Structure 1
Amino acid sequence: MKVIHGFQSPTVHKPTSSVLDPSIISNPSPSLSVLTQRSRSVSYAINSSLARSQVANNATEMDAESEQGIQIDGDVNIISQMEGSQDVLCIAYTEQCEMLAAGISDGTVRMFKINSGQYVTALRDAEMRQHPGPTTAIRHRPVNRSYPITQTLTATYATGCVKCWHYPTGQCLYTIRERRQTLGLGYHPFLPKFVTVGDDTNIYLYDEETKIQERVFHASNAPDMMNGHTSRVFCACFNPKSAHELISGGWDDTVQFWDTRQPYATRHISGVHMCGDGIDISKTGKEILTCAWQRKNPLQLWDYGSGKLMVTIEPDVFNSQLYCGKYINNLFIICGGGVTNLLRVVDLRSHTTVGSIRNFPGAVFDLAIGPTKRIKRSKINDMPLLPRMAFCSAKKIYEIDVG
C-alpha cells in the first residue's frame, strides 16, 4: 500500500421538433439568451453538487478520509495531478490526447497539457460569464478515418446550453440552448450525431453538421407502459455496433433501450440508480456496464441482447456508491464514486481488483480513457498494455497508469 499526503454572419437553424423554439439554436452572440430566470436560479441551486445531493451527507466521512492521505493499493500509479479553480465535475481528453479538458462548477472549461500538467487556457464566453452554471459533460466526436481532427470539444451546462468549442482559439463555434438543465451527452460512434439528456426526462438527438434537432425520445403517456424515463436522465451511450441503438440511465432506477427510429423506449432494465456517467457498452456491443449510486450492487454487467444480469461484481473491503465507469477494453473496466471516495480498476476475467485509490477529498465524479503507452513489456508480465486514464475529485484531476 502506498500513501500520498497533501496530495460570418449569424445563421439560425430551426429545430424539427416543437419542443424547442426557433431561437434556441444559433451562432454565439452575447446578446442572445433564452434562459429564463427560473433556469438560472435552478442552475445555481445545483451548483455545489450538480444535482448529486447525496454527496452532502458524506462531508464528515470525506474530511476523515482526506486527513489519512490518499491510499493506493495494487498495480496502479498516479503519474500527474492538475488543479482547477473550483470543483471539477467532468473531464475529457482531446482528440489526440495532448490535453485534458476539465469542466468546472462555475461553467468554465479549463485546458491542461497532459505531460506537464500545465494550465493552458479557459473556455468561457460572454454568455457563460453573464449566466454561469455548472459544466455537466464534455465530449468530442469519436475519432475515425471518416472524420478529420477538428480540435473541438462539446460541453453541456446546467443552464441548458450545449456549446461546441474550438479549443486552440477559445472560440465557441455554436450554441444550442435547451429549456432544461442539460446533464450529459453522448456521441454516435460513426455518424455526425449526438444526444443530450437532462432533467425533463427527454433525450434529444442532434445532427452535428446541421445543428438541427432531429428527434425527441420520451415515454408515452400510457399508464401501463414503462417505455421511457420518469425522472432526471444523467447519461446516454450508443451501441458501437449499431447505427440506431442507444441506452440511457438516471434517477428513475431504469436503464432504457432506444431505437432512433422510434420515439419510445423499446425495453428497459430495472434497479439501477444513475447519478452520473455510469453506463457503458462493450466494444463488441454485447455487454452493458452499469455503475450505480446505490449501496447494494453498484457494479454490474448485463447482457445487451436479453437485458439479463450477467454478474454483480462485489466490492473489496471498501464499498463505494458509483458515479462513473467505463470499459477500458474488453478485459478491464474502471469505475469511481463516493461515500468511500474511490477509484477502482477491475479485471473482468477474474472479477478482481487490479488496483484502487481511495481517500480523496471528494467523490470521483468523472473519468476519461486516454492514450496507450508505447513501451516494451516483459514476456512474463501477463498484464495487457492499458491506456493512461484520468479522473476528477474535488478541485483536482489525476492521471494514472496501470501495470
Structure 2
Amino acid sequence: ATDLVHNCDLWITDPPYADAVNYHEIAEFFIAWLRKNPPKPFDDWIWDSRRALAIKGSGDDFRIGMVRAYKTMAEHMPDNGMQCVMFTHQDTGVWSDMVGIFWAAGLQVVGAWYIATETSTELKKGGYVQGTVILMLRKRPAGENFGFKQRLLPAVRAEVKNQIETMMHLNDEVKGKMGEPVFNDSDLQMAGYAAALKVLTSYTHIGGEDVTAFALRPRTKGEVTVVDEIVQQAAEAANSLLVPEGLSADTWQKLNGIQRFYLRMMDIETTGAGKLDNYQNFAKAFRVEDYTRVMGSMAANKAQLKRIPEFASRDLTEATEIGSTWLGQLIIGLQQLLAEAEPQSVISHLQEELPDFMEIRTVLIDMLKFIENKAPEQATRDVAEVLGARLRNMRVLGN
C-alpha cells in the first residue's frame, strides 16, 4: 500500500493487528491449493503472499508501517473518497492504537457498523466474537478542532449509548424471529470501542496536543494516555448498558466492578464460554483490581469462576475486593445454608454485616434470583431460592 500509483474512490482493507491472524501466512495455504489451476478470473493473478512486504508485529515499527499504508491510500483517493476498514479485536490498547493510526494518516471515522459475520455453532458459543466492525473513513476536513477530556467523555458516552441501543434493538428483533440473538456481550463491548473511534478521530488536538504528533510518538511500556482512558471509558459505558438477563437495570447500576464482573461472567458461562482472554477483557472493562481472586480455573480455554461453595474464608474477608461487597456477604450466607445453618441465623448475619440492609433488600433479592437461575450447581440454586424467599417475605420491621 505504501507504493501506490493509482487513485481509487474506495479502498477496502482488512488489516491484521497484535495477536490477530497473520494473513500473509494463512493465505499461503490457499495459494498452494489454487495456484496450479486457478479459476477465472483469478488465473491472471500473481499467486504470491508477498510475505516479505507484509507489515508485521505490534510495536512502534508496526504502527508506523500501518500509518504509512493508510496515509498513502488517503493521498491516492479524491476528497470525497472513502476507506472501508474491517476490524475485530477485544483489547482496549489495540483500539487506542487504531485511533492513533487513523489520526496520523489524516483520516476520520464517519460511520461504524457491527456486522454479524460468523455462524453460531457449538464450537463458537460463549465469549467468541461473532462479527466484525466495519469502519467507514473519510479524509479529515481541513482546519483545527480542539478537544479536551472533560468535553470528550460525554460525547463518547452518548455515541456508545446510541450504538449499543441500536444493536440491542436488532438483537431483540432477531431473537423474536429466530429464537436467539445475533450479538453477544463481547460483540456489544467491541461496538463501544468503534463508537469511541468515531468521536475521537474528528479532532485535530486532544488536551492541547496535536493528534498526529501524539500518534507517532513512541509508546512507553505501561504508559496510560488520555486516549487509553477515553477508550476505557467507552468500554465501561458499553458494559453499564449491558444488563445481564435476569437482573434489573436498577440493581446493575448499584453494583461495583467486582460484583458486575462476577455476575456478568456467571451469565456468560451459561453459554459455554471458557476463553481466559474473555475474562481478562471484562475485568479490564469493569476495572477489577484482581479478578484472579474469584477465578476457579485460569486455563486458557477452560477458564471459569470459583463456584459459590469453592470460596474459602480468606477470599471473603473485608480486605478482599469481593468480601466487602453485598455479593460477598450473600456468598457467605449461601455457604452457611449449604452447611445446613438455619435461614433465620443467616438473615441475622446479613443484618449485622450490612447497615443499610433494609434499603438494599430488593437488590439482594434480585441477585439471589439471578444466582438461583444461573449457578451451575443445583445445591447453590436451591439455597439461593430459600434465602430469596425468606427475604421477600420479611416484614418491614422484624423478621
Place the TM-score, normalised by the shorter chain, in its bin.
under 0.3
Give the TM-score normalised by the residue count of structure 2: 0.23
Q: Of the two, which has the highest radius of gyration? A: 2
The structure carrying a bigger helix percent of its residues is 2
The structure in which a higher percent of residues are strand is 1
